[in-house]
Amino acid sequence: MRIAYGDLIGGVSGDMFVAALLDLGLPLATLKADLRKIPTLKFDLKVSKKTVSSIRALQFHVICPKQEPPRAWREIRQILQRSRLSAAVKETGIEIFRRLAEAESKVHGIAVDRVHFHEVGATDSIVDIMAAAIGCHHLEIRAFHFSRVPLGRGITRGGHGSLPVPGPATLELLKNIPVQWTQLEGETVTPTGAAILATLGKSFGAEPRMTVEKIGYGAGQKEWPDRPNLFRLVLGEDNAGERNEEMLVLETNIDDMNPQFYDYVMDQLFAAGARDVFLAPIQMKKNRPATLLTVICEPTCRAALAEIILRETSTIGVRYYPVSRMVLRRELRKVRTRFGEVTVKLIEEPDGTKRASPEYDHLKRIAAAKNLPLKVVHDQVMRDLGK
């Protein structure tokens, strides 16, 4: 599977992200042809070379009208839906803009459909976002992983007047994503760059296990005193049997709740995106027997899952901390057996060999329908799979 690792050396913006894709091999002619499928937009593209700290990089420029009125989220969505781009590219681009709209909505306290974009509603930002979507699909990148996000400080001016750095919308987009505060005076991550990271990123922090194929560099406009203003995109193959994931652990001690409620709480947590939920007996102060409720989740799910724990249990607090985990690659497939189609999880071992594990819920349904012992169904399915 082809993956990419984005190294935010000096930060990232929409144009830096696109420049790195072009440096990886996205043909400029292909990009221009696809972008022309978006109606009403008037622009031209320019790609130039730039050497930053003796590293050759590309810069991506969108040349468009100087004065443009703010565009509403509804208007941008309609323009993209009317385009002749592929369905997959449209979906990615619209999802990036949707996240931007939700961030602006939260910051300004207005309904999402009433959001008007200023800088990010201009033609150059629309082109940056859609060029990013086009490049990802053209290069067939199936998963993006990113480093921690470096953030600058200070004050910047925008369509809403003077704003703190990072901008409020940028910081809203980066919620639940690992960041690194720096002493840099200025904007290291733009709202467009943050929206791309938040939409495409599968993990943040640790580098993925991969075989490196190509490396692309996108250069920014500013110069930083202590680091090159570059965004590095490493393209490669995820051919290892295992991969690293950055997760969160949420946990709480409970000693005063009806134990019958745990079943409902666990169902709610799994439905909201928890990767795993489990209970363990513990002994609390004054020798009270209690239960440790533990949840493993992606960082973006923290707020929703913590709310469920606080709402549905008797606890008055939730602990959380980051954790790394190594997982084997797996995929679900439907396999024909004498009982009909059975969903099987195929797991790849570190040495490349594969093992199969039938899905429990599917086996349970077959056992109930056929009036057979569950063990008999499992063993027969494994024989049919040749295991």
Q: Which residue's entry shows tokens 């946990």?
A: 251
Check whether 244 has a pLDDT greater than 80: no
The phi and psi torsions of 299 (rounded to 5 degrees) equal -55, -35
Instruction: Give the pLDDT of residue 295.
Output: 98
Taking the C-alpha atoms of residue 190 and residue 213, their distance in angstroms, rounded to an integer, is: 28
* Helix or strand (DSSP H, E) at 360: helix 360-370
Closest CA to 195 of 125, 115, 111: 125
Q: How confident is the model at residue 240 (pLDDT cuts 50, 70, 90)?
A: low
198, 202, 205, 210 alpha-carbon torsion, rounded to 10°: -140
Q: For residues 297 and 21, what is the distance between their CA atoms, to the nearest angstrom?
A: 30
pLDDT at site 239: 64
Rounded-to-integer distance, Cα 299 and Cα 324, Å? 11
Contact present, 217 and 50 (Cβ < 8 Å)? no
Residues 155-170: tens digit of each pLDDT? 877 666 788 999 899 9
Do 149 and 187 contact (CB within 8 A), yes or no? no
CATH superfamily of 244-326: Transcriptional regulatory protein pf0864 domain like (3.30.70.1380)
pLDDT in tens, 190-239: 999 999 999 999 889 888 878 999 999 999 999 999 999 999 999 998 86
- CA-to-CA separations, 83 to 35, 67, 293, 301, in angstroms, rounded: 9, 23, 48, 33
Q: Would you place residue 327 in the very low, low, confident or very high pLDDT band (cuts 50, 70, 90)?
A: confident
Domain spans in the chain, listed from the N-terminal domain onward: 2-240, 244-326, 330-384
Q: What is the pTM of this model?
A: 0.68
Q: With CA atoms as reference, report the closest residue to 23 among 56, 53, 72, 62.
A: 56
CA angle 303, 307, 313 (to 5 degrees): 145
pLDDT digits (tens, 9 = 90+) for 295-309: 999 988 999 999 999
Supply the pLDDT for residue 159: 61
pLDDT of residue 157: 74
- How does pLDDT run across 346-369, given as a tens digit for each residue? 887 776 778 888 888 888 988 998
The residue count for the chain: 387
Provide mean pLDDT across the span 34-63: 95
Q: Which helix (H) or strand (E) holds 29?
A: helix 28-35
Question: Amino acid identity, residue 274?
Answer: A
The reported pLDDT for the residue numbered 65 is 75
